Amino acid sequence: MAQDLFRLDGKTVLVTGASSGLGRHFALLMAQAGASVALAARRIDVLEDLVQEINSASPKSADVKAKAFQLDVSNAQQVSQCFDQLAAWHLPDVIINNAGVTITKPLLQQSESDWDQVIDTNLKGAWLVATEAARRLVAANKPGNIVNISSILGERVAGGVAPYAISKAGVLQLTKTMALELARYSIRVNALLPGYIATDLNRAFLQSEAGEKLRARIPSRRFGEVSDLDGPILLLASDASQAMSGTSIAVDGAHLVNTL
């Protein structure tokens, strides 16, 4: 059936930045689609509730469906060690490169430390995880699928988040260059570009006067909800997109195409 195209049964999905926000939602969604899920974050302790939630929802006879791994994506040694641990469980078929941070300050107040923190996590971290995953997949002679989480700020700009916007633009180019070089190994690389998605972290701002002004500039006149990303992320993570690589999908209520 058509919906079976989006199933992930028999696959293992690695989700970085899985402890909260979009990463947590993606991890739950991948498990609901039938995947075993490797949950990675800097603090492994904050992942335990999510591991328990996923495993308790699985049939009693099933193998462990979720496992937590400590990972600072900006640390090459930790990335390598994480994949060593993953190999002892399941080498991921799908990697959702979701870990990310932002620091909101005017451009002239951003420090070198701010720049390093954002770029090292969002861009360097995505590169480290994706290239390590690709090396392991090639060595195992196994096809793979990498989904990089970028942002509409990778294509447009906003004030106060210069390092974030720059990092997400880099992620888009990373996606294209990796898609080009990894196609010969049957490894696909695509990007998801969320628009303004309401989460517990930003809901108060989006409901403020400043948030209302922002909403008025979105052609659909609405902010997204995390559930709006379900279809697009399942498309990219599943075999439904088996002929897609080097593609970027925006989920933004037409925000990117608003008039100047």
Q: Catalytic one among 164, 165, 235, 245?
A: 164
Our answer to whether residue 196 is catalytic in this structure is no
Mean model confidence pLDDT for the chain = 95
**pLDDT tens for residues 16-61?**
999 999 999 999 999 999 999 999 999 999 999 999 999 998 776 5
CATH class of 2-250: alpha beta
Give the pLDDT mean for 128-146: 98
Q: Which residues of 204-213 are buried (b: 16+ CB within 10 A; e: fewer)?
A: eebeeeebee
Question: What pLDDT does 4 receive?
Answer: 87
pLDDT tens readout for residues 214-227: 999 999 999 999 99
Q: Can you give the residue ranges of every domain in the chain? A: 2-250
Among all chains, which residue has been given the structure tokens 């974050």?
41
Q: Which amino acid is at 181?
A: E
Give the mean pLDDT of 109-124. Answer: 98
- Is residue 68 very low, low, confident or very high in pLDDT (cuts 50, 70, 90)? very high
- Which residues have C-beta within 8 Å of that of residue 34, sequence separation ≥ 6? 7, 8, 9, 10, 11
| The predicted structure's pLDDT at residue 199 | 84
* pLDDT at position 1: 65
